[in-house]
Amino acid sequence: MLFDTHTHINDEAFDEDFEDVLRRAEEAGVGRMVVVGVDRPSIEKVFPIIERYDHIYGAIGWNPEDAVDMSDGDFEWIRGHLDHPKIVALGEIGLDYHWDKSPKPVQQEVFRRQIRAAKAAGLPIVIHNREATADVARILREERAETVGGVMHCYSDNWEWAEAFIDLNFYISFGGPITFKNGRLQQETAAKVPADRLLIETDCPYLSPHPFRGKRNEPARVRLVAKKLAEIKDMTLDELARITTENAGRCFRIG
């Protein structure tokens, strides 16, 4: 069984063929997945999905690009939904310095508030990090995020940083880019990440793996990520699937 730890199947890209997408995932051996909400509209769409499908869990949080838009009401609304029995993480949250919509100090404050909310709720954190690794690591340390741990989503940094995040009780999750010809950094990092800290994901509808790069991604294609990672780790696909599924269960406290 494969566990796609990061999907956006609540995205409008799946509105027309949602059931077909889930069927193809099942046929590909994807037994569980997490659907992630990152703002009011996408978070609202998480709950009907996780309440209808036993094998789908939810993560909710406010994404860093839109940090400037998060009101106190939004924050309290997210906090009020963290006790839902199928919400297994707070995220994706973090820092994104690629876009300039939300000033860095605003992003950092929103990030800190949500880390504290996750700790209060006893939930792991799903981290979005783009061009902000040093600040992400610093804030996680300062906020003692290791007490809940979490996931470095769609990891793209080197092994030295991965080791630092593992020391902070985070799992390292790889997606489609590990299959790309220019994915050498991810491949070299994955080779060094301990097996008990590995996760797999699609981040669908984004980052479709080779040979579907540039097309809409979907959970079934996490199998291609798993195959590549198994090759890198010199494991069978079945071994890789078992290990990453067990890791996801541990990370998200799912029995």
Tell me the pLDDT band of 251, cut-offs 50, 70 and 90: very high
Cβ-contact 64, 111 below 8 angstroms: yes
What pLDDT does residue 76 have?
98
Separation CA 111–CA 77 (nearest Å): 16
Find where tokens 């703002």 sit: 39
Task: Please give the average per-residue pLDDT across 30-49, as a whole number.
Answer: 98
Residue 30 has pLDDT above 90, yes or no: yes
Range 234-238 average pLDDT:
98
Q: What is the pLDDT of residues 173-190, one digit of tens each?
A: 999 999 999 999 999 999
Tokens (6 digits) for 70: 């998060």
DSSP 204: B
Q: What percent of the chain has pLDDT over 90?
A: 99
Is residue 15 very low, low, confident or very high in pLDDT (cuts 50, 70, 90)? Answer: very high
3-state secondary structure of 139: helix
Inform me whether the pLDDT recorded for 100 exceeds 90: no
* pTM (predicted TM-score): 0.97
CA 109 to CA 7: how far, in whole Å?
26
**What is the C-alpha end-to-end distance of the chain, expressed in Å?**
14
Residue 70 and residue 74: Cα distance in Å, rounded? 6
In this structure, what token pair is assigned to residue 60? 């909710």
Q: Averaged over 207-213, what is the pLDDT?
A: 97
Beta bridge partners, 232, equal none
Q: What distances in angstroms separate CA 215 from CA 18, 70, 218, one per listed residue?
A: 16, 31, 10
Residue 37 φ/ψ, nearest 5 degrees: -110, 135
Sequential DSSP letters for 83-127: TSTTEEEEEEEEEE-SS-SS-HHHHHHHHHHHHHHHHHHT--EEE
- Calpha distance 106→129 (Å, rounded): 15
pLDDT band at 210 (very low <50, low <70, confident <90, very high): very high
Q: Which positions ≥6 away from 20 have C-beta within 8 Å?
A: none
Q: What are phi and psi of 210, to 5 degrees?
A: -60, 135
Handedness of CA 57, 61, 64, 68 (dihedral sign): positive
How sure is the predictor about 22, in pLDDT bands with cuts at 50, 70 and 90?
very high
Average pLDDT over residues 208-233: 98
Q: Kindly report, residue by residue over 47-61, the tens digit of the pLDDT.
A: 999 999 999 999 999
Q: For residue 46, which amino acid is it?
A: V
pLDDT for residue 231 is more than 90: yes
pLDDT grade, residue 255 (50/70/90)? Answer: confident
Q: For 108-163, what is each residue's pLDDT tens digit? A: 999 999 999 999 999 999 999 999 999 999 999 999 999 999 999 999 999 999 99
For tokens 């804030």, what's the residue?
139
For the segment 52-79, the average pLDDT, to the nearest whole number, is 98
pLDDT of residue 133: 98
Q: Domains along the chain?
A: 2-251 (3.20.20.140)
